[in-house]
Structure 1
Amino acid sequence: MPSTTECTAAHASREVDPSPTLHVRSRRFGSFEISRASIVEIPQGLVGFPQLRRYVVLEHRPGSPFKWLLAIDDPELAFAVANPCELVAGYEPPLETAARLLETDPNDIALLVIVTIPRDPTLMTVNLMAPVVVDLRTRRARQIVLDLPHCPPDFLVVPSRVAARA
């Protein structure tokens, strides 16, 4: 059993940062402060990025349906995301399933889908198969993988719906 001195010394290096903000620096977005309360925690990470668990949602520009999901622990990594209901006509998200997985009320969740924007924006797609479900109360999220025929990983977005608002 460690002595009191060893225990105190071991814990001295683990001070809690009392600051309500966190400084983030990224080549794409520059240097800025975010509120710690705005951090979205994804305990299992995103598919392909299990080690990255803390994100912040950044606006693309006012009125745009697009946002950025920036990895706080690797700020050079950001995903273009959007609310699928704003881009896909008739999309019926599986809110009950998503809420059950997060153990929350369906009214307390938001859905984001990852957007792929190639050089030719008319070929833009969204991943309806693996939406990110965010509990707006707790700021915890989870990427769920759906096995539904109407939710492909590369749903082509109709450019005319997006062009005026991007």
Structure 2
Amino acid sequence: MRIETKYFGEVAIESTSVLDFPSGIPGFNHETQFVLLDFPDNPLFQILQSTTSKETAFIVVNPYHLYEEYTLNLDESIIEILQLSSEEEVVVLSIVTLKAPFTSSTINLKAPIIINSVKNKGKQLIINTDEYPTRAPISPKHSSKVKGE
């Protein structure tokens, strides 16, 4: 199938790569079908692109590439919604907010995107504590403290 994308124009995607977000993403509840697109020549970042709305696209990154000590616990409701049966199925992504210069960009550690990579189901998890910020520096070395910012 072919979709229009925000950053790459029209692209061909496999229907088997479509991710189902049954309740959408907060603020985009009507958007329930997404696909992950790779950035050419940059394996760290991806685009979480809506399959139905060209303008609905989020730059995402695996937070563990930037914050190795990042941890989260998935409660039973998330495990059930995403039909998770093992840790190996879990993909965690954080939404990036781009700023100029790039080193002042941030990632949202408080509301990670959780994906079951086998069943292609996703959900944005809102962590209901102040343990992690919504605007963590994209360059951890520029911050001596992440938790509770």
TM-score, normalization by structure 2 = 0.83
Aligned Cα root-mean-square deviation (Å): 2.1
* Number of equivalences: 140
Name the structure with the higher strand share. 2
**Is contact 2:6–2:56 with CA below 8 Å preserved after alignment?**
no
**Inter-partner Cα distance in structure 2 for 1:110 and 1:70:** 16
Identity of aligned residues (%): 25
Matching of residue 44 in structure 1 with residue 29 in structure 2: no
Larger Rg: 1
Task: For residue 95 of structure 1, report the CA deviation from its aligned partner.
Answer: 4.9
**Is contact 1:99–1:109 with CA below 8 Å preserved after alignment?**
no
The answer for the alignment partner of 1:102 in structure 2 is 82
Structure 1 residue matching 2:13: 3-state secondary structure: strand
**Is contact 1:96–1:106 with CA below 8 Å preserved after alignment?**
no
The answer for the alignment partner of 2:113 in structure 1 is 132
The answer for the alignment partner of 2:52 in structure 1 is 73
4+ runs deviating over 4 angstroms: 95-98
| Correspondence list, 1:12-161, <5 A | 22-26=1-5, 28-95=7-74, 98-99=78-79, 101-104=81-84, 105-158=86-139
**Inter-partner Cα distance in structure 1 for 2:103 and 2:140:** 6
What 5-or-longer segments of structure 1 have no aligned partner? 1-21, 162-166
**Inter-partner Cα distance in structure 1 for 2:111 and 2:62:** 13
CA offset digits 1:94-144 (Å, max 9, x no partner): 256653552312221101110011122121111111111100111011111
**Is contact 1:109–1:136 with CA below 8 Å preserved after alignment?**
yes
What 5-or-longer segments of structure 2 have no aligned partner? 143-149
TM-score, normalization by structure 1 = 0.75
